[in-house]
Amino acid sequence: MAKPRRGESLTVTIDDLAFGGEGVGRVDGYVLFVRGGIPGDRLRVRVTDARARYGRAAIEAIEEPSRDRVQPPCAYFGRCGGCRLQHLAYPAQLAFKEKQVRDCLERLGGLGPFELRPILPAPEPYGYRNKMEFTVAGTSGLPVIGLHEADRYDVVLDIDRCLLQSDTMNALLAEVRREVRARGLSVYDQAAEQRLDAGASRGLLRFVTLREGRRTGEAMVNIVAAAPDVETLGPVAETLRARVPAAASVVLNVNAKQASVAVGQEEHLLVGREHITEFLGGVTFQVSANSFFQTNTVQAERLFGIVAEACGLTGSETVLDLYSGTGAISLLLARRCRWVYGIEVSPAAVADALRNGRANGIENCTFLPGEVRHVLPALLRDGVRAEVVVADPPRAGFHPKALSALAALAPERVVYVSCNPATLARDVGDLGRHGYRVEWVQPVDMFPQTPHIEAVARLRRAG
């Protein structure tokens, strides 16, 4: 295996995709990761990084394109850090994601025979997102409102139109930009914040988050600023609602800390209501500025239908919903079982779940704040038992103590919802050593044009 030199130009054929969406090729046995390469491409590349066992390269020329290569419709493709697979035909995207799930479960999970169901494609490969977060940047000249450049946290692309969001959300983005520039509003400057001179002006605007109820048509604008300047931003909100009547809510979240996050420590209602509404599976949800809600409404409803099927409820069961978030799965299952316990670490999410339960007249849910690894053992000590457990953990998967508590609970069925095939494989492999067998796994494409993939796994306890 000959290691190439940094800066060297080579011809490489791409034969696979890595988990992050980079093309994978080999030159005399040496592995090269090529961003923008797809299986079937023959490329002229320049080596940008050469390590002992692998390197990275940038495309200089496409000598022969893959039959799956398509023209990306977005003007920002390649520069924006968002949609990395727009140049790959959608059927090929689906095949890549299905293969990713299978490879992880077989290679990392060491599973025996199981059914991998065909991936569930999204009916809307574009325009599917109900939430988008844009950064406000530019302390000199005209402010820009957009998304970070690929692999850069210090450069923001001024996005006129994002193809992943609706026309309504794009209209709101354009109006926010127009108002910010017309009124000469200042932009938060983290460098000024870090300077020692207290007189430095740190600016106001930090982020703009847009949300939309796809079933209701209600939209929300959440302006995240460094100060509670309602006097300045109130007229902006009034203009937004006048020009885009779908804007049912415009709120101001205040993040006065240096942490670059689009979440505030306090919230002020500028126009309309403090929330928008959405319908999902016959349940009405109130979605506030900082609520978690699945960002693809159509696919979320289909995903939750798969979860309900996997639970196999008859009406008499007690269900535990681990990592329950704002309670969407709990509330959708509550009408099919005797009782649901939801466990969630975020107090704000628990408050959302309780509010949505009351709004829908659902009384057979108990939502408990805290980490699963602490709350689940406490429930066991209190004598709570469950026939079915649903788990939708974060990308890191289960904490080992939480997985041990789940094994001690010994439910008949476990339904695992995962956004990370690698940690799904690890955790179901561990559950296999506790006597559980994976019956089937259903991949669901929640995020077309990106490498991300969701999957639902149904496990049954042996005996």
Query: What is the reported pLDDT for 348?
Result: 87
Query: What is the reported pLDDT for 197?
Result: 55
**% of the chain residues with pLDDT over 70:** 97
Query: What is the reported pLDDT for 81?
Result: 87
Are the folds of 9-69 and 92-124+296-461 the same? Answer: no
Q: How buried is residue 400: exposed, middle or buried, by Cβ count under 10 Å (0-12/13-18/19+)?
A: exposed
Q: How buried is residue 169: exposed, middle or buried, by Cβ count under 10 Å (0-12/13-18/19+)?
A: buried
Query: What is the reported pLDDT for 264?
Result: 86
Look at residue 150 and give its three-state secondary structure: coil
pLDDT reading at 198 higher than 60: no
Any catalytic annotation for residue 419? yes
Average pLDDT over residues 176-184: 97
Look at strands 23-27 and 30-34 and give their pairing. antiparallel
Query: What is the reported pLDDT for 263?
Result: 87
- What digits encode the pLDDT tens for the residues 138-165? 867 789 999 999 888 889 999 999 999 9
- What digits encode the pLDDT tens for the residues 27-66? 999 999 999 999 999 999 999 999 999 999 999 999 999 9
Query: Any idea what DSSP says for residue 296?
Result: B
- What digits encode the pLDDT tens for the residues 61-83? 999 999 999 999 999 999 998 89
Residue 426's pLDDT band (cuts 50, 70, 90): very high
**Spatial distance between the Cα atoms of 10 and 194, rounded to a whole number of angstroms:** 45
pLDDT reading at 196 higher than 60: no
Domain boundaries, the chain: 9-69, 92-124+296-461, 131-277
Residue 193's pLDDT band (cuts 50, 70, 90): low
CATH fold for the domain made of 92-124+296-461: Rossmann fold (3.40.50)
Residue 2's pLDDT band (cuts 50, 70, 90): confident
pLDDT reading at 376 higher than 80: yes
CATH fold for the domain made of 131-277: OB fold (Dihydrolipoamide Acetyltransferase, E2P) (2.40.50)
344 has which bridge partners?
Answer: 369
pLDDT reading at 351 higher than 70: yes
CATH of domain 9-69: 2.40.50.140
Average pLDDT over residues 114-140: 94
Closest to 457 in 3D by CA, of 35, 405, 444:
444
- Catalytic residue, candidates 83, 311, 365, 419: 419
Helical axes 230-243 vs 167-182, angle rounded to 10° = 140
**Spatial distance between the Cα atoms of 25 and 41, rounded to a whole number of angstroms:** 9
Average pLDDT over residues 382-410: 96
pLDDT reading at 245 higher than 90: yes
Query: What is the reported pLDDT for 192?
Result: 67
Average pLDDT over residues 79-94: 95
Query: What is the reported pLDDT for 110?
Result: 83
